[in-house]
Structure 1
Amino acid sequence: MDVFNLVYAASCVYALVRGGTPERIGALILSADFQLSHWVIAPFVSRYASVEWAMMSVDLSACLALYTMSLFTARYWPMWMTAIQGIVVLSHLAGARIDVIPWAYGNAVALWAYVLLALLAAATRRHRRRLARYGIDPAWRWQLPPAYRMGGPANERDAPRH
């Protein structure tokens, strides 16, 4: 088993087992992205010789899914993952240049996956820490207390006394 598959499996299983709903959805989005990318990639002989349009569309779909989730979740990490996935999508345009070495194009697209997986694992860890510290961790914006949405503290004990 190579290093990527080990990191991929560990991060996604950790998020699926210990994460909240956004972390689980993030793990499913990344899993779908990685699996579909593996299925649509060009044969090895012509891999990354030009723009991998099918893989770019899979990556764009993952980017849009992460973006949609970031609109509704109370977490910040989906915005970061959306930005990184956007870099992956734009990296595919490197294949349009004739002078780009296929190996460099492939690495520009693939190496960001490690960052995404590390971010997912860190997000899951932070979720667990918030649960241990506060007992709750609202996943979606509508689950946040009204006072917090208006700029106040997240719980009543932190509210200033008048």
Structure 2
Amino acid sequence: MLRIILFNIFYLGSSGFALVRGGVPERLAAVILVADFQLSHWVIKPLALRYSGVEGTMLAVDLAAFVALYAMSLFSTRYWPMWMAVFQGCAVAGHVNGLRADVIPFAYGNYVAVWSYLLLAILIAGTMRHCRRKRRYGRDPSWRWELPDTYRDGGPADAADISASPTSIFGHEEKPVTGEQG
């Protein structure tokens, strides 16, 4: 019971942190994880039957979360969504253990659940890195199409000014607003 309470504190804290302080990918990942964890609680079998065979509905929920995280990793400018997709894929692969006739329910359940802690830790680290980049550059592009063309085309990162205003990324150069009107 203590493990469940500690996980829920970690889960609510990390998701809340990402929702409040994160950029769009961090918030999207938090929503995906909240949906994954909540749906998993709703579809899990009763305690007597839990993890005695393949948890088909839980497999479907975990697979949907994997697909969502994988899709996000393809378009995000961050590296951590790729790692989240990999760890969620490990949780999905863990459901293969349920196909074995001699599966130990405790081992199967723990194998599927342990990846959740890593997902939340990555979400916290990703949100902290977003906050650091936002402080350093003034903005943090979330998606690949928001990056300057020079950066997307393989140019050096130094040549790409990610601190530029979002309008300059799309080719509309605007002068910065200064105190002088003239």
Q: TM range, normalised to the smaller chain?
A: over 0.9
Q: 2:23 pairs with 16, 20, 24, which one?
A: 20
- In structure 2, the gaps of 5 or more residues are 162-182
- In 1, Cα distance between the equivalents of 2:96 and 2:159? 50
Q: Using the alignment, how far apart are the partners of 1:157 and 1:30 within structure 2?
A: 32
Q: 1:93 aligns with which of 89, 92, 96?
A: 96
CA RMSD, 1 decimal: 1.4
- Bigger Rg, which one: 2
Q: CA deviation at 1:153?
A: 3.1
Query: 1:39-50 alignment to 2 at 5 Å?
Result: 39-50=42-53
Q: Distance in 2 between matches of 1:110 and 1:97?
A: 18
Is 1:145 matched up with 2:148?
A: yes
State, as a whole percentage, how many aligned pairs show the same letter: 60
Structure 1 portions without partners, runs of 5+ = none
1:154 is displaced (CA, Å) by 3.5
TM-score (norm 2): 0.84
- For 1:2, the aligned partner's letter is I
The aligned length equals 158
Distance 2:160 2:43 in 1: 53
Contact 2:50-2:105 within 8 A present in 1 as well: yes
Query: CA offsets per residue over residues 92-136 of structure 1, 9 Å max, x none?
Result: 110111222100000000011000000000000000011111111
Q: CA deviation at 1:29?
A: 0.1
Aligned to 1:154: 157
C-alpha distance in structure 2 between counterparts of 1:127 and 1:40, whole Å: 33
Which has the larger displacement, 25-34 or 95-104?
95-104
| TM-score where L is the length of structure 1 | 0.94
- Paired with 1:157 and 1:62, the residues of 2 have a C-alpha distance of 33
Q: Deviations over 1:20-49 (max 9, x none)?
A: 000000000000000000000000001000
CA deviation after TM superposition for structure 1 residue 157, in Å: 8.2
In the alignment, which residue of structure 2 is the partner of 1:134?
Answer: 137
Which residue number in structure 2 is paired with residue 63 of structure 1?
Answer: 66
| Separation in 2, partners of 1:68, 1:82 | 9
- Residue 155 of structure 1 and its aligned partner are, at CA, apart by 4.8
Select the structure that is richer in helix. Answer: 1
User: Partners of 2:58 and 2:146 in 1: how far apart?
Assistant: 36
Q: Of 117, 120, 131, which residue of structure 1 is paired with 2:120?
A: 117
CA separation in 2, counterparts of 1:135 and 1:156?
A: 17
Q: Which amino acid aligns with 2:9?
A: L
